[in-house]
């Protein structure tokens, strides 16, 4: 049985990856400090959970006492506004914590790191759709931290032979998501609608995002296990305005409400659509969930949780 370590494995995306790894008979370990993750998100009878922070020196014992073939690195500070407000904390978690993992992975013979990067590394490019060869130009400390670790992984491969796959996520959404992070607008809207509060849209609502369902992201991570070294966009290759997203929620909830418009936030980009052509070809992966259906499933899950 192949041993896999998932950092942030109790979180929104990480727990879905863990679920799929279990179904494929991997022996799964999780490192999570539970700051945003929840151990109820994973099956503790089938997973070895280490409640630790990726910056803790003690996590070396986890590597020393196991033989991991793969590390799927999801643990991160994922909020652009938080990264702007507290650049030191963002750097400590996203850069120093990740470098610590790379160091341990190399020291203890890990075959490959699969890294959760982000569309935020591209900044706000003028030419769309964004491809993997689009120049990186991050507009936030969060985007810069992700790009920094991409370069560390490429350097670690050159220096030590540590293999890597970098997955640049578009705006991920789905059940169990919190209001933090890049796809968090879906969760934020859901909170507004489910609590009968007036939604807030930052900017004019015409800014666009490329939303992708969490199950599809998890499948991309599974596909990356057997892939060559490389960088791949994980997206639906579709643009949706925030106004359109708002209208989806109005339809799902069946309410007649208008949003409050407030000023754009620092660090937010205007438009984002990621080409997934290379990913479809080289990872033999394809997103399966439409936005309309994915939003319905997300809302259904939230309603079910509220009824418990």
Residue 183 has pLDDT above 60, yes or no: no
CA distance 68 to 57: 18
Cα–Cα distance measured from residue 201 to residue 263, given in angstroms and rounded to the nearest whole number: 8
Mean pLDDT in residue range 24-30: 99
Fold for domain 3-174+207-238+272-296? Rossmann fold (3.40.50)
Q: How high is the pLDDT of residue 306?
A: 53
* Residue bearing tokens 């259904």: 300
Q: Mean of the per-residue pLDDT values for the chain?
A: 95
Q: Is 232 one of the catalytic residues?
A: no
**What does the domain layout of the chain look like in residue ranges?**
3-174+207-238+272-296
Of the candidate ranges 65-74, 171-180, 248-257, 298-307, the one whose mean pLDDT is the lowest: 298-307
**pLDDT at residue 264 above 70?**
yes
134-148, 190-204, 284-298: segment of lowest average pLDDT: 190-204
Residue in 142, 147, 169, 248 annotated catalytic = 142
Q: Is 208 in contact with 272 (CB distance < 8 Å)?
A: yes
Mean pLDDT, rounded, for 227-241: 98
| Residue 126 pLDDT > 60 | yes
* pLDDT, tens digit, 9 for 90 and up, residues 146-170: 999 999 999 999 999 999 999 999 9
Share of the chain above pLDDT 90, in %: 89
- Does the pLDDT value for residue 302 go beyond 80? no
Angle between helices 97-107 and 141-160 (to 10 degrees): 20
Residue 227 has pLDDT above 80, yes or no: yes
Burial of 63 by CB count in 10 Å (0-12 exposed, 13-18 middle, 19+ buried)?
Answer: buried
Interval 92-114 mean pLDDT = 99
């Amino acid at each position: 049985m192949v041993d896999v370590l998932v950092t942030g494995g109790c979180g929104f995306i990480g727990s879905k990856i863990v679920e799929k790894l279990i179904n494929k008979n991997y022996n799964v370990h999780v490192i999570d400090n539970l700051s945003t993750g929840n151990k109820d998100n994973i099956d503790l009878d089938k997973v070895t959970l280490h409640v630790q922070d990726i910056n803790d020196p003690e996590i070396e014992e986890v590597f020393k006492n196991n033989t991991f073939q793969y590390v799927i690195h999801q643990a991160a500070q994922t909020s652009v506004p938080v990264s702007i407000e507290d650049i030191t904390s963002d750097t400590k978690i996203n850069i120093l914590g990740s470098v610590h993992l790379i160091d341990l992975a190399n020291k203890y013979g890990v075959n490959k790191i699969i890294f959760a990067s982000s569309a935020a590394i591209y900044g706000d490019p003028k030419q769309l759709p964004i491809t993997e060869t689009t120049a990186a130009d991050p507009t936030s400390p969060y985007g810069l931290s992700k790009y920094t670790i991409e370069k560390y992984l490429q350097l670690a491969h050159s220096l030590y032979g540590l293999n890597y796959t970098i997955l640049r996520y578009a705006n991920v959404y789905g059940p169990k998501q919190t209001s933090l992070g890049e796809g968090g607008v879906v969760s934020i809207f859901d909170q507004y609608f489910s609590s009968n509060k007036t939604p807030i849209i930052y900017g004019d609502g015409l800014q666009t995002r490329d939303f992708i369902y969490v199950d599809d992201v998890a499948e991309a991570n599974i596909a990356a296990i057997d892939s060559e070294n490389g960088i791949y966009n994980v997206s639906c290759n579709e643009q949706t305005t925030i106004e359109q997203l708002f209208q989806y929620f109005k339809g799902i909830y069946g309410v007649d409400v208008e949003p409050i418009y407030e000023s754009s936030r620092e660090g937010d980009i205007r438009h984002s659509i990621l080409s997934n052509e290379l990913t479809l070809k080289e990872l033999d992966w394809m997103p399966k969930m439409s936005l309309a259906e994915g939003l319905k499933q997300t809302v259904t899950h939230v309603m079910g949780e509220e009824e418990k």
